[in-house]
Structure 1
Amino acid sequence: MSDSPKTLLLVDGSSYLYRAYHALPDLRNGEGLPTGAIYGMINMLRKLRNDYPAEYSACVFDAKGKTFRDDLYPAYKEHRPSMPEDLARQIEPIHEAVRALGWPIVVVDGVEADDVIGTLSRQAMEQGVRTVVSTGDKDLAQLVNEHVTLVNTMSGEVLDPPGVLAKFGVPPERIIDYLSLIGDAVDNVPGVPKVGPKTAVKWLAEHGSLDGVMAAASGIKGVVGENLRNTLEWLPMARRLVTVKTDCDLSKSVADFHALRETGEDKEQLVAFFQRYGFKTWLREATGESLPDARAQARARAATSAPAQGGLFDAPAPSAGDGAPPADDAAPTEIRYETVTTPGMLEDWLRRIESAPLVAIDTETTSLDPMQAQLVGISLSAAPGEACYIPVAHRGPDVAGLPEHGQLSREFVLERMRAWLEDASRPKLGQNLKYDIHVFANHGIKLRGVAHDTMLQSYVLASHRNHGMDSLAERLLSLKTITYEEVCGKGASQIGFDQIDLARATEYAAEDADVTLRLHRRMFPQVEAAAGLRRVYEEIEMPVSVVLQKVERNGVLIDAERLAAQSAELGQRMLALEQSAYEAAGQPFNLGSPKQIGEILFNQMKLPVVKKTASGAPSTDEEVLQKLAEDYPLPKLLLDYRGLSKLKSTYTDKLPKMVNPRTGRVHTSYGQATAVTGRLASTEPNLQNIPVRTDEGRRIREAFIAEPGSVIVSADYSQIELRIMAHISGDENLLRAFANGEDIHRATAAEIFGVERDAVSSEQRRYAKVINFGLIYGMSAFGLASNLGIERDAARHYIDRYFMRYPGVAHYMEETRQTAREQGYVETVFGRRLWLPDINGGSGPRRQAAERAAINAPMQGTAADLIKLSMIAVQDWLERDGLQTRQIMQVHDELVLEVPEHELELVKARLPELMCTVAELRVPLVAEVGSGANWEEAH
């Protein structure tokens, strides 16, 4: 028989309710009831029970109504917003699920959950029973001792006494003093103004306790000392408010912890619960049933001319948007896919889509290049489970045997569909519709009425997830779709879609349209439910998608001869660098071989090894070479060679080959659902990575030109992320500097170095610029020291001075980290959610990277929103006023336009005005405009 102590396992249910609600998407069951928090709680409780077996357990929730703290301090929790309605609707189901899982529920009137947990922990400790508390609430760290441990199932964090000290900088017995000094913004308990964790830890280390800090208040200098003295009368009250009680009367709800004996799950109740709320995976586990093969079921049903086709996330379908009836979580009971091969069948489908409130449309083509792709077929779906495929350019062996000419001609189909395709009043839905707009444009059709895009809905809901249709279908519909490779093959043996037999083509293509419609019915209600997400989707992502298609189609002229000359020059310089590298190494070698470079640098020349690869070999990556180049010539030569080689292969050699023979221009593709921050990505070619800090990179921009009679105009937001930081943080000094139109780096230098603005040296301004931009990217003292080439202590001093002069920024950073940890995401000014999957988990470095991203993402994301809003506003103006000016590129915070000379003055005057009025921030937006014969001259 084991002598190990028994365990009491307590769950801070009130803490986890909110975290589960915010951490998961807006999941709903077939009746439209929210289920995300329920899902999160069940997951957490099951994991906790597996990880921490216990003889006693309970889930503790706050009771409604006031507690003693409200009587002590009427403003207690005054600023806390009311519980979201969707979460409130999940409380009763959560209680039901918790009981079915075998957890006793403890709710004590007039007593907060923290105090119930504190009291039960004390009771258990007095009887030799250890306690494990599952929570995300820092206040409960004060309970930790050799008998009480905190665990956080969402982050994997375990806090014993050493863990508390490591995390907070003070031992558990000083957490109350620590919280009294810094305050608790969540509960509206003020601390000492401008005193954060660092100062609190320092004071408690120096003076031992809160009483010691208060006794020494007269000798503490500076603004914080004055703030402390002004807060002395309040601190005893703060201490009472943050102290968790351990002597509450719980007798009306639970006699003592012995009443909380572990019970098993009630399988019958769980089965009924999982059925009611649509948790299919758990239901199958509970009943032992397997999921039917949806594809096999679908193929068993016949369609007019083709086999039928139908179809991990426990997320039942919500109600559909656009007036459609509520979506059923199960796959449609009947799958009917048709191959349209006669005029009569086409007319039937035209009547169907003309009367439908929303139609999913998809194209099959000859190429992934949107400017080159030719139409092979069109698929449509107006109701779940019903879709058609209209082949127009197949050349498979089965085509000739069909009635009439085997398939309707492309010209006939497009002319019959033109009126519907170009009707802006007929709402259309697709998956990455920007591509389909290009395809129809290749055939002289202007696709209008673009209402919804499931790729963008997924992107707005969870930018960090995979937005491909196959992935979405599996995750949201529990449906394994047919992949392109399954139809056309892979690699060298892959054939074109136009060679696929019509039955198989219909099976694949009609499924795409059907699934797109079903995904919309699942996701759009979630977008609608959050005002910020709806705004981002409807006012930014959908309209800018149409604008991006026009920008891509406009393309940009390239001076191929200039690039050829530059390529030759780069080749000559690379040869010279190669010879210099041979001389430095004492032998010829392959400058593109990491193995040979490693052999020469580390085995022959005995240079210090900076870091190693995963296999244990010395690394020769760019970071290593940059470090070695500070002291040795060969690494510097290798870096220069690599830089020129990349420019030559990526741009000067490649760009002329990418000119579209039909338009004479280069047409990049803008990835709208790529970067988690909302930034656009540019591919084939990537116009965003052309280096601008080197002469060679800037010369490449000289090859981006305007057609005769026009010029290039560039408009660039000035210091946009710093302005957004000022707006979000509300720091008075930053706001004042921008409002007065000051040089922000000079103003920062004056603050940090304690000099008048006129006395700031160029070196001081350079330091301030690095600090300004570095801190918003989460740069540490080590990073700043490396960047500036100074000692780490000096870098730390500069950072401390910065936060002293800009306290609003420090407050924003700390508050943002906490918010990100609590809800799993941060938001832009416009409501875009930027998810941070590693903020409460992952390794230490990954979690730290997520914390840095939490600080910077709102600024990057807001900047992305602003430039997209600018593109929309500019395009609206150009089209409304009938101008010939064209937007041709978007790069970072810059818009590039091709402007006829007779419109130049108008555009240069109107463009910055539009860009600076798309949103109103607490600081003025500034856009700088330039013009020239090429991009470099204009920039």
Structure 2
Amino acid sequence: MTEKSSRPRLLLLDGHSLAYRAFFALPVDNFSTSTGQHTNAVYGFTSMLINVLRDEEPTHVAVAFDLSRQTFRLEEYSEYKAKRAKTPDEFRSQLPLIQEVLDALRIKHLSLEGFEADDIIATWSTQAREAGMETLILTGDRDSLQLVNDDVTVLYPMRGVSELARMTPEAVETKYFVPPHRYPEIAALVGEDSDNLPGVPGVGPKTAAKWINQFDGLDNIIARVDEVKGKAGESLRAHLGDVIRNRRLNALLRDLTLDFGPADLARQPWDRQEVHTLFDGLEFRVLRDRLFESLDSEEETATEPSMKVEGTVLEPGTVAAWFAETGSAALGVHVSGTWRAGTGEVEGIAVSTLEGRAAYLDTQTLTPEDDAAVAAWLADPARAKVIHDAKGPILALAARGWEVEGLSSDTALAAYLVRPDQRTYDLADLTVRYLKRELPTEDVGDQGLLFDTGEAVVEPALARAQASVELAAALADEIESHGGTRLLSDVELPLVDILARMERTGIAVDQEHLQALADEFDSEVRAAAAAAYEVIGKEINLGSPKQLQVVLFEDLGMPKTKKTKTGYTTDADALASLYEKTEHPFLLHLLRHRDVIKLRQTVEGLLKTVQPDGRIHTTFNQIIAATGRLSSTDPNLQNIPVRTAEGRRIREAFVVGEGFESLMTADYSQIEMRIMAHASGDDLLVEAFRSGQDFHASTASKVFGVDAEAVTPEMRAKIKAMNYGLAYGLSAFGLSGQLKISPGEASKLMDEYFETFGGIRDYLQGVVEEARRTGYTETVMGRRRYLPDLTSDNRQRREMAERMALNAPIQGSAADLVKVAMIGVDAELAEQGMKSRVLLQVHDELVLEVAPGEREALEALVRAQMGSAADLLVPLDVSVGTGHSWHEAAH
């Protein structure tokens, strides 16, 4: 960036040009949401926008878009831009999203029937110069170089969307040997392939620039065309009509009548919540963080510089007295430290009342009496505590021997229940949004945390403690209005402590078995590669899409797959489809190579996470999935393959730990379809569950009109696919792909299914309409998922929101039931004084470690608690198994 001028600075962006450049700069297959919406153009455009707003600091900004190809230029010359390929559908669907980003950032954008974005930009820049403004034009269209002057600079993308060249008058003349206002004359002579404007054959930029300088401009060249020498001159005279036409078409219009001018384009603070909602839908977590770090939002312009807290650093020996003086007031707590893999370390604790009476404890200076006072306060259920994202701090406190009771709110969980589709619940961000203040950074100096002693503290722990307790109060009414109060108090908060104990406990593994599997899979990777090489007669990098494209589509001449920017796709689905068509042995070995690489990576990842106690301590996440499901990371134990023989062998490595007699698995049977039966009230579906017969066979007999004994395996498979798919938006096309039948046959099967189970059909139609009316879906426990895209003008987004509306109440209710069951099992274990413990939750399954002599009692306890987690129209069926390993227990 050049030194900033005191004049107003206008930034103009060519929306279509930049979006199209971003689309081809970023791979389309790598940028799409879970709904299937492609986002590479949106991401690249937004990234470039954030960078240029940050670096150039414009006072005014606007974006111009092309409306269509039907412009006055096309009317004059029917071949204008005729060579351009049809706009990809993947790109076209992203333009409205880019405009939504601009709306959220309060940036005006404009398009005009019959004219191009360049003309709008030319008009604005001309008006801005007359108003004494400095102008920057960000565009990938060289036609805008004619606008460059002492007040106008073009920022031209050089590599993708990351590097910009500053095209000043000097830079233009250096590159093209003519001043900017002469650039269109060079383009007229040379031609512009992108616009399908043919130039003079044999004439390049240097020759064109020489003529322009020799004759003092294109008008003089035309007037004295007979003086131009040589073959180039002959060529010029033969194509003079093209040159004149080119110059007329590439001249940008500077006097359009527009809805608003430069003075109306002043930058406005943007709405932080609107950006959250939009970026959540686009799944732009990293980009959102960059935006929040770089640019001020509406909330930030209304915030105080930082949150100031009057507090004290407690001296050794004073801790008990301080806690006694605070009485029973709820305290916000911030733990400074680290935590992972079921343990952690505490460096300090900051506490603050809602009124701002605060203190900081350095754990290195605590006396034994202080330590006991902290332990007693933390363990007292009558002393309310508010912690942001509490599970990690609880692990660190537990590692020091401090147990936490009385957690009255977790502000990350509270914010999650209010807006479950958000991707991040950072305390600093929530503080700005709800409290209109900023948390100080670590380098706070005298503007940071002021203490009784007058000293500033670098670590802003007290501010975070204060923010937590204030935020809990600010969120309380919003949680209530969103129907989440009971979920927070009765489900999510009790689960925090349970999950923390599960993480601390971990699950034992047989490391020798894991290592043997890793060695075996590594050997199979090499064998599969060798077999693949033998088929094609050479060695290649089997992980290289480019090398695979050569082998598959050139050497072996296989049918082409879907075309991407980098060639024909070689992803797993495409290769599997190719193998079905060709049964080529190379594909067989290639697919096996990929499978065993994944297995090897899974096992190697597990080995790396085994702790010194011989157990793996995963991390459970409560605030990731919008449906309420728990997820597992570092490592992900919910993703261990279970349907393949190799996956089951991996589960054999998870074993009972020392001092316990076995593992126990307890799994809900067809939980989501049972919830569907309850929600829909469909008599036949309810009857199918109450009969106690094989559920899929029973429903198949009703659809096909045969006795249950006459249901064939093929019939059962078809209805099973529909039982699990149709309730969640599975289309006839999707069903046909699953069952390997024609879309027509799948559609007929769907009609028969819904004719039989009319209650399901009516429920599914009703739940979408109700969600469209209210804006959200709801589980049996009142967990809401807000779906603003149900009324979107974008068909793809609207249809995906409809599928989510079908899915969220059922899947979310299942998640709620499993959580309630976990809380019930944990409470009953404590009530009965049993030593058995819950180790894992994997979707609808609990894995427990059985203490000696407790198997029968534990099974009865688990069946009772899981079976009574909700009062449904149909019974909740629980499958229980035990064994030395996770695999044995599940079979």
> What TM-score comes out, normalization by structure 2 length?
0.63
Among 624, 628, 637, the alignment partner of 2:578 is 628
Which AA in structure 2 matches 1:534? T
What amino acid sits opposite 2:377 in the alignment?
W
Query: Counterpart of 1:520?
Result: 472
* DSSP 3-state at the match of 1:826: strand
- Provide the C-alpha distance between the structure 2 equivalents of 1:503 and 1:411, rounded to a whole number of angstroms: 27
1:798 pairs with 744, 749, 756, which one?
749
Are 1:684 and 2:634 matched, yes or no?
Answer: yes
Residue identity matched to 2:515: A
1:733 aligned to 661, 670, 684, which one?
684
Task: For 2:551 and 2:528, locate their aligned partners in 1 and report how far apart those are by CA, in whole Å.
Answer: 16
DSSP 3-state at the match of 1:704: coil
Please give the alpha-carbon distance, in whole angstroms, between the structure 2 residues aligned to 1:334 and 1:587.
Answer: 65
Are the equivalent residues in 1 in contact too, given 2:503–2:618 (CA < 8 A)? yes
- Residue aligned with 1:549, SS: helix
Cα pair distance change 1:410/1:666, threshold 3 Å: farther
Residue of structure 1 in register with 2:383 after alignment:
426
Kindly tell me: are residues 620 and 921 of structure 1, through their superposed partners in 2, closer, same or farther at Cα, counting changes over 3 Å?
Answer: same
Deviates more, 1:506-515 or 1:733-742: 506-515
CA–CA distance in structure 2, aligned partners of residues 580 and 846 of structure 1 = 44
How far the C-alpha of 1:547 sits from its partner, in A, is: 1.1
Q: Label 1:644 to 1:892 Cα distance change in 2 as closer, same or farther (>3 A).
A: same
Kept after mapping to 2: 8 A contact 1:556/1:888: yes
Which residue identity lines up with residue 477 of structure 1 in the other structure? L
Give the drift of 1:619: 1.9
Cα distance change on mapping 1:658 and 1:334 into 2, 3 Å: closer
Q: Which residue of 1 aligns with 2:362?
A: 391
Q: Relative to structure 2, which stretch is displaced further, 537-546 or 616-625?
A: 616-625
Aligned to 1:443: 400
Residue among 641, 655, 673 paired with 2:623:
673
Give the counterpart letter for 1:683 in structure 2: T
Partner AA of 2:466 in structure 1: D
Q: Which residue pairs with 1:380 in the alignment? A: 351
> Is the partner of 2:400 in helix, strand or coil?
coil
Is it true that 1:910 corresponds to 2:861 in the alignment?
A: yes
**RMSD of equivalent CA atoms:** 2.8
Change (3 A) 1:333 1:551: closer
Residue 63 of structure 1 corresponds to which residue in structure 2? none
Instruction: State the secondary structure of the residue aligned to 1:654.
Output: helix
CA distance in 1, matches of 2:332, 2:664: 38
Are 1:359 and 2:331 an aligned pair?
Answer: yes
**Secondary structure of the corresponding residue to residue 907 of structure 1:** helix
Shift of 1:457: 0.6
Structure 2 equivalent of residue 495 of structure 1:
none
Q: Secondary structure at the match of 2:847?
A: strand
Q: 1:843 to 1:578 in 2, by over 3 A?
A: farther
Instruction: Report matched runs for 1:152-163 at 5 Å.
Output: none
Q: Could you list the per-position Cα deviations for residues 8-67 of structure 1 after superposition, in whole angstroms to 9, with x for gaps in the alignment? A: xxxxxxxxxxxxxxxxxxxxxxxxxxxxxxxxxxxxxxxxxxxxxxxxxxxxxxxxxxxx
Contact 1:528 1:534 in 2 (8 A): yes
Amino acid paired to 1:747 = S
Q: Could you tell me whether the CA contact under 8 Å between 1:558 and 1:704 is conserved in 2?
A: yes
Q: Name the amino acid aligned to 1:515.
A: A
Is contact 2:306–2:438 with CA below 8 Å preserved after alignment? Answer: no
Is 1:471 matched with 2:429? yes
Give unpaired runs (5+ residues) of structure 1.
1-278, 283-310, 317-328, 394-407, 489-501
**Partners of 1:723 and 1:923 within 8 A in 2:** yes
Amino acid at match of 1:378: I
Q: What is the deviation of 1:933?
A: 0.7
Give me the whole-angstrom Cα distance separating, in 1, the residues matched to 2:786 and 2:759. 24
In structure 2, C-alpha distance between the alignment counterparts of 1:443 and 1:557, rounded to whole Å: 23
- One-letter amino acid matched to 1:754: G
| AA aligned opposite 1:556 | I
Q: Deviations over 1:652-705 (max 9, x none)?
A: 2232331222x3311111001110000001011100001111111000100110
Provide the secondary structure at the position in 2 that maps to 1:374.
strand
Q: Which amino acid in the other structure matches residue 655 of structure 2?
A: I
C-alpha distance in 2 between matches for 1:480 and 1:611: 48
- Cα distance in 2, alignment partners of residues 410 and 824 from structure 1: 55
Question: Counterpart in 1 of 2:438?
Answer: 480
Q: Give the C-alpha shift of residue 331 in structure 1.
A: 6.4
Aligned counterparts, 1:189-208, within 5 A: none
Counterparts in 2 of 1:483 and 1:638: CA distance versus 1, 3 Å: farther
- Write the distance in 1 (CA, Å) between the matches of 2:599 and 2:643: 13
**1:648 match:** 600
Q: Quick one: structure 1 residues 312 and 775, their matched pair in 2 at CA, closer, same or farther if it must change by over 3 Å?
A: farther
Partner residue in 1 for 2:591: 639
Please give the alpha-carbon distance, in whole angstroms, between the structure 2 residues aligned to 1:315 and 1:474: 7
Distance 2:795 2:441 in 1: 37
Q: Is the 8 A contact 1:825 1:835 kept in 2?
A: yes
Tell me the residue number matched to 2:263. none
**Residue 452 of structure 1 is aligned with which of 387, 409, 431?**
409
SS at structure 2 position matched to 1:735: helix
Provide the TM-score with structure 1 as the length reference.
0.60
Equivalent position amino acid for 2:647 in 1: G
- Report the alpha carbon displacement of residue 516 of structure 1 after superposing the two structures with TM: 1.0
1:697 equivalenced with 2:647 (yes/no):
yes
| Structure 2 portions without partners, runs of 5+ | 1-269, 274-295, 446-453
How many Å separate the matches in 1 of 2:271 and 2:656? 58
Check the 8 A contact 2:778/2:785 in 1, yes or no: yes
Quote the Cα distance in structure 1 between the aligned partners of 2:272 and 2:644.
56
Residue from 738, 743, 759 that aligns with 2:710: 759
Aligned to 1:271: none
The alignment covers a number of residue pairs equal to 588
When residues 389 and 935 of structure 1 are mapped into structure 2, their CA distance, relative to the original with a 3 A threshold, is same
Distance in structure 1 (CA, Å) of the matches to 2:851 and 2:863: 18
SS in 2 for 1:415: helix
Q: Distance in 2 between matches of 1:730 and 1:891?
A: 28
Shift of 1:413: 4.2
Give the AA of the match of 1:518: E
For residues 414 and 849 of structure 2, what CA distance do their matches in structure 1 show? 32
Q: Which moved more, 1:850-859 or 1:743-752?
A: 743-752
Amino acid in structure 1 at the alignment position of 2:418: L
Structure 2 counterparts to residues 129-278 of structure 1, below 5 A: none
For the 8 Å contact 2:342–2:506, the answer to whether it is kept is: no
For residues 202-235 of structure 1, the C-alpha deviation after alignment (integer angstroms, 9 at most, x for no partner) is xxxxxxxxxxxxxxxxxxxxxxxxxxxxxxxxxx
The offset of 1:642, in angstroms, is 1.9
2:729 maps to: 778
Where 1:677 maps in the other structure, the secondary structure is coil
The amino acid across from 1:626 in the alignment is A
Residue 849 of structure 2: aligned partner = 898
Asked if 1 retains the 8 angstrom alpha-carbon contact of 2:303 and 2:438, the reply is no
Q: Please say if residues 320 and 374 of structure 2, whose CA atoms lie closer than 8 Å, have aligned partners that are also in contact.
A: no
User: What SS does structure 2 have at the residue aligned with 1:540?
Assistant: helix
The DSSP-based 3-state class of the residue aligned with 1:336 is coil
Task: Answer yes or no: is 1:823 the counterpart of 2:774.
Answer: yes
Distance 1:368 1:900, change over 3 A: closer
Determine the C-alpha separation between the residues in 2 that align with 1:474 and 1:333.
10
2:418 is the counterpart of 1:461 = yes
From 402, 408, 417, the equivalent of 2:374 is 417
Contact 1:313 1:478 in 2 (8 A): no
Identity percentage of aligned residues: 38
Is the 8 Å Cα contact of residues 715 and 911 (structure 1) preserved in structure 2?
Answer: yes
Which has the larger displacement, 819-828 or 918-927? 819-828
CA displacement, residues 594-622 of structure 1 (integer Å, 9 cap, x when unaligned) = 23223322333333333234x35322222
Structure 2 CA distance, aligned partners of 1:444 and 1:474? 34
CA–CA separation in structure 1 for the residues paired with 2:505 and 2:700: 44
Residue 577 of structure 1: aligned partner? 528
Tell me how far 1:894 sits from its aligned partner.
0.2
Name the aligned partner's letter for residue 742 of structure 2: E
